[in-house]
Amino acid sequence: MSTDNFTIGVDLGGTNLRIGAYTPSKGLLEAIQLRTRLCDGPEAVVNDMCAAIRRLRHRYQSQYLLAGIGVGSPGPLELPAGILRQPPNLPGWDNFELRAAIEGDAGMPISLQNDANVAALAECQLGRGKSFAVDSLCMLTLGTGVGGGIILRRKIWDGMTGMAGEVGHLNIWTEGGMACGCGSCGCLEAHASATGVRKMAQDEIAHGTAPGLATLYADKPDFDARDVADLANAGDADAKAIFGKVGRSLGIGLASLVNVLNLPLYVLGGGLANAWGLFSTPLFDELRKRSYVYRLTADKTHIVTAELGPDAGLLGACLLPSQTES
Amino acid sequence: MSTDNFTIGVDLGGTNLRIGAYTPSKGLLEAIQLRTRLCDGPEAVVNDMCAAIRRLRHRYQSQYLLAGIGVGSPGPLELPAGILRQPPNLPGWDNFELRAAIEGDAGMPISLQNDANVAALAECQLGRGKSFAVDSLCMLTLGTGVGGGIILRRKIWDGMTGMAGEVGHLNIWTEGGMACGCGSCGCLEAHASATGVRKMAQDEIAHGTAPGLATLYADKPDFDARDVADLANAGDADAKAIFGKVGRSLGIGLASLVNVLNLPLYVLGGGLANAWGLFSTPLFDELRKRSYVYRLTADKTHIVTAELGPDAGLLGACLLPSQTES
C-alpha cells in the first residue's frame, strides 16, 4: 500500500491567517482560519501559525507523508533569505526574518513566496491555466493595490530576489498620473486598484462636476470601489468614466506585458475584477492599439477574469512545495 | 580520441548576411560575409545562405561533429513555425516560411530565433553575463529601432510564439509621445533609438528654437544620431536635452522591466549605447524614482553597456543549437 503525500499551506494576510492541509487527489483536507494578531507583533503571529501547522501535521501524518510546507506572505519579501522589506500591509514587520522564524519551529525547510505569486500558481495549476490548458500566465490581482505573479512553464518566475511580477508598478501615466504608494506616480496600481477608484472618485467630487458621485459621498462618506461600480452600472456617466480610466490603464499595462512576455494567458483577479463589464472595452481598445504582438497573436492570447476565489492564496501555498521540486 | 562539436550560425540582417562556424573551445573558426540580396527576394537570400552553410559544413565536418545550425533573423518571427510576420527590415518577406526554406536545404532541424534574442544570448554567455557571473539578463539593442531579448537561467525566453522580449514597445510616454512604427505612440523605440533621436532633433529644428541643431541640418541634411551626440558632447544645450529625453525614456522603461522581471543585469547595446555618458544620469534618476524593486536591490541590479560588438548576432546564432538542448 502506497502512502499519499500531503502538504501544509499558509496564507498569511494582513487581516486573516489561514493554514490548510492538502493532497493532490483530495484537495483541501482541512483549513484553519485565524485573525492575524498584527498588534501583538510578528512573533505572536508566527507562533499562531506554527501551532496550527503542528496541529495539521500531527493530525494527518499517520495517514499521509508530509511533502513540504508552503507559505505565502505579503511582500516585498526578499528571497531566498525570506526577509520582509518594508511591507505596507504588515506594519512593524520591516526586516523580520520570516523564513528563519517558521523553519526554526517546523524543523524543516519551507517554500516561501509573496502572496501574489502564490495566487498566480494556484490559478495556473487549478484555475484558468488548467481550463485553457496552458502552463504559463501572468496574474494581476486588482485589490487594495495591484499585485502580480508570473508563472513560466508551471513555475513561479520570482527573479533574482523574489520580487519579480510587480506589475502593479508598471508605468502607465508617466506624466500627470496619480501618486503611487511606491514613490512613483502613474503606476498601474494608482489607477486600477480599489484605492485608485476611490481616489479618482474623490478627485471628481472635489472638482464639483460629478453630481452622482457627490450624492454617493454625502450618503456614504466611506464609499468604496464597489459603490462606484454600482453607480456606473446604474448609468452614471462620471462613475462610468472612472472605470474607463481603469480599463485604459489595464490595457496599456497589458500591452507592455504582452510585448515583453508573449504569454498565452493574463488573468485578472481581486475584487475590482468583478467590474470587468465596466472596463473591458477600453482595456481591449488600448491593448490592440499599443501591442502589435497582441494584434499578431490575438486568437491565442487570452485576457480573462480569475476562476479561483479567495481560496487561491491558500491553495497556491499548498502547491508551493511541489513546484519548487519540479 | 574524442571529436569536438561545432555549430554553424547565421546572422541574417537587412544589409549583411553572415555565416560562421564555431566551437566552444576555439570560438569562430571562420565567418563568411555576404550582402543580403533583398531586391532578389527571400529565395535568393536563402540560397546564398544555404550555399555558405554547405561550404562550412563540408570544410569542418571531417574535423568536428556538426551539433546544429542556428539562425538569427529580423522579426517579427512566429515560432515554432518559423514564419516572418510583416518584418519591417525585410520588405517583401511577409509570411515567408524561413524555417522550412532553410531546413529543406540543410536536411536537418535548425534552431531559429529573432536577432535581438540571439544577441542577448551571446551577451549572456560570452559577454557581460559572463563578466558578472549571472545566468539571466535583459538586453536592449538601441539601433535604428530598439530590439530586446530576455535570457532566463541561460535560455532565451521567447514566449508563446517567439515574440517575447519586445522591450522597444514598452509604453513610456503614454500621452504626447512620438508615433511609433508599431502603430502605438510613446513607445521606448520612438524615443530611445537612433531614428527617435533624429526625429526629436528634426522637431526642435522645425520649432526654430535650436540654433546648433539648425546649423547641423544646414551643413548636413542627412545628419544622424551620432552627429547629434557630437553636438551634445560639444556642449549644445538642445542636443543635450534630446539625450536627456533618451535617458529618461530608458529609465522609465527599465523601471517597468526591473519591477516585472527582477533580473540581475540589463545590457544596453547598439550604436546609440555609445552615448551612455550623455544619458546615464537621467536614466538612473528615473529608474530610482520609479522602481522600488530597484531601490531595494540597487547593489545587485546592474545596468551596463554591452561588451560584445557587432559579432554578437553571429556568435549568438552559433550558441543557439546548444541552448535549445539544455
* pLDDT tens digits, B113-123: 999 999 999 99
pTM, to two decimals = 0.95
B268 domain residue, yes or no: yes
User: Both A185 and A270 in a single domain?
Assistant: yes
In A, minimum Cα distance to B161 occurs at: A262
Distance from C-alpha of B131 to C-alpha of A34, rounded to nearest angstrom:
49
Whether the per-residue pLDDT at A326 is higher than 90: the answer is no
Q: What is the DSSP code (8-state) at residue A210?
A: -
Distance from C-alpha of B58 to C-alpha of B149, rounded to nearest angstrom:
32
User: Both B301 and B251 in a single domain?
Assistant: yes
User: Both A138 and A79 in a single domain?
Assistant: no
Supply the mean pLDDT for chain B: 96
Q: pLDDT value at position B90? A: 93
Three-class HEC string of chain B:
CCCCEEEEEEEECCCEEEEEEEECCCEEEEEEEEECCHHHCHHHHHHHHHHHHHHHHHHHCCCCEEEEEEEEECCCEECCCCEECCCCCCCCCCCCEHHHHHHHHHCCCCEEEEHHHHHHHHHHHHCHHHHCCCCCEEEEEECCCEEEEEEECCEECCCCCCCCCCHHHCECCCCCCCECCCCCECEHHHHHCHHHHHHHHHHHHHHCCCHHHHHHHHHCCCCCHHHHHHHHHCCCHHHHHHHHHHHHHHHHHHHHHHHHHCCCEEEEECHHHHHHHHHHHHHHHHHHHHCHHHHHHCCCCEEEECCCCCCHHHHHHHHHHHHHHC
Amino acid residing at B48: D
- Domain at B217, CATH number: 3.30.420.40
User: Both A301 and A315 in a single domain?
Assistant: no
Secondary-structure breakdown of chain A: helix, strand, coil percentages, each rounded to the nearest 5:
45, 20, 30
* Lookup: cell for B292: 522600488
User: Both A169 and A118 in a single domain?
Assistant: no
Distance from C-alpha of B324 to C-alpha of A288, rounded to nearest angstrom:
32
User: Both B172 and B279 in a single domain?
Assistant: yes
User: Both B87 and B139 in a single domain?
Assistant: no
In this prediction, residue B5 has a pLDDT band, given cuts at 50, 70 and 90, of very high
A97: left (phi over 0), alpha (psi -120 to 50) or beta: beta
Report the alpha-carbon angle B9-B157-B184, nearest 5.
100
User: Both A109 and A14 in a single domain?
Assistant: yes
B61 lies in which domain range? 5-124
To which residue does cell 530565433 refer?
A: B113
Contact criterion met (CB below 8 Å) for A66 and A57: yes
Which of B85, B162, B262 is nearest residue A164 as measured by Cβ atoms? B262
Contact criterion met (CB below 8 Å) for B321 and B108: no
* Lookup: cell for A83: 526577509
Write the CB contacts of A241 (distance below 8 Å, at least 6 apart in sequence).
none
Q: pLDDT value at position B2? A: 57
Which of A158, A182, A290 is nearest residue B184 as measured by Cβ atoms? A290
Q: Number of structural domains, chain B? A: 2
User: Both A315 and A289 in a single domain?
Assistant: no
> Beta-carbon neighbour count of residue A307 at 10 Å?
17
B320 domain residue, yes or no: no
Contact B256 A290 (CB under 8 A): no
Contact criterion met (CB below 8 Å) for A225 and A274: no
Report the alpha-carbon angle A93-A99-A103, nearest 5.
130
Report H helices in chain A: 42-60, 98-106, 115-126, 128-132, 188-192, 194-207, 211-219, 225-233, 237-261, 276-290, 292-297, 312-325
Using DSSP, state whether A146 is helix, strand or coil.
Answer: strand
Write the CB contacts of B235 (distance below 8 Å, at least 6 apart in sequence).
none
Please list every residue in chain B whose beta carbon sits closer than 8 Å to the beta carbon of residue A182.
292
Distance from C-alpha of A76 to C-alpha of A82, rounded to nearest angstrom:
10
Distance from C-alpha of A194 to C-alpha of B58, rounded to nearest angstrom:
65
Q: pLDDT value at position A325? A: 44
pLDDT mean over A122-148: 97
Q: pLDDT value at position A1? A: 46
Min CA distance, B100 vs chain A (Å)?
20
User: Both B9 and B145 in a single domain?
Assistant: no
User: Both B138 and B85 in a single domain?
Assistant: no
Task: Select from B207, B295, B285, B213 the least CA-distant residue to B258.
Answer: B295
Min CA distance, A252 vs chain B (Å)?
7
Query: Cis peptide before A87, with omega less than 30 degrees from 0?
Result: no
B323 domain residue, yes or no: no
Contact B161 A297 (CB under 8 A): yes
B321 domain residue, yes or no: no
Task: Select from A63, A69, A81 the least CA-distant residue to A106.
Answer: A69
Q: What is the DSSP code (8-state) at residue A178?
A: P
pLDDT digits (tens, 9 = 90+) for B221-279: 999 999 999 999 999 999 999 999 999 999 999 999 999 999 999 999 999 999 999 99
User: Both B219 and B258 in a single domain?
Assistant: yes
Q: Which of A1-10, A69-78, A214-223, B50-59 has the lowest mean pLDDT?
A: A1-10
Please list every residue in chain A whose beta carbon sits closer than 8 Å to the beta carbon of residue B148.
260
A128 domain residue, yes or no: no
In B, minimum Cα distance to A293 occurs at: B163
ipTM score assigned to the predicted complex: 0.95
B326 domain residue, yes or no: no
Distance from C-alpha of A54 to C-alpha of B103, rounded to nearest angstrom:
59
Whether the per-residue pLDDT at B125 is higher than 90: the answer is yes
Using DSSP, state whether A47 is helix, strand or coil.
Answer: helix
Whether the per-residue pLDDT at B3 is higher than 80: the answer is no
Distance from C-alpha of B275 to C-alpha of B245, rounded to nearest angstrom:
13
Q: pLDDT value at position A2? A: 57
* Lookup: cell for A34: 485565524
* Lookup: cell for B295: 531601490
Min CA distance, A76 vs chain B (Å)?
8
A282 domain residue, yes or no: yes
Min CA distance, A89 vs chain B (Å)?
16
Which of B167, B173, B296 is nearest residue A260 as measured by Cβ atoms? B167
Min CA distance, B323 vs chain A (Å)?
17
In this prediction, residue B323 has a pLDDT band, given cuts at 50, 70 and 90, of confident
pLDDT digits (tens, 9 = 90+) for B66-95: 999 999 999 999 999 999 999 988 999 999
Whether the per-residue pLDDT at B285 is higher than 50: the answer is yes
> Beta-carbon neighbour count of residue B237 at 10 Å?
12
To which residue does cell 569536438 refer?
A: B4
Contact A262 B297 (CB under 8 A): no
Q: Which of B63, B97, B124 is the last residue of a domain?
A: B124
Task: Select from B137, B168, B74, B150 the least CA-distant residue to A263.
Answer: B150
Supply the mean pLDDT for chain A: 96
Which of B148, B171, B295 is nearest residue A290 as measured by Cβ atoms? B171
Strand partners, B111: B70
Using DSSP, state whether A227 is helix, strand or coil.
Answer: helix
A276 domain residue, yes or no: yes
Contact A160 B300 (CB under 8 A): yes
Whether the per-residue pLDDT at A88 is higher than 90: the answer is no
Whether the per-residue pLDDT at B325 is higher than 60: the answer is no
Contact B252 A292 (CB under 8 A): no
Q: pLDDT value at position A38? A: 93
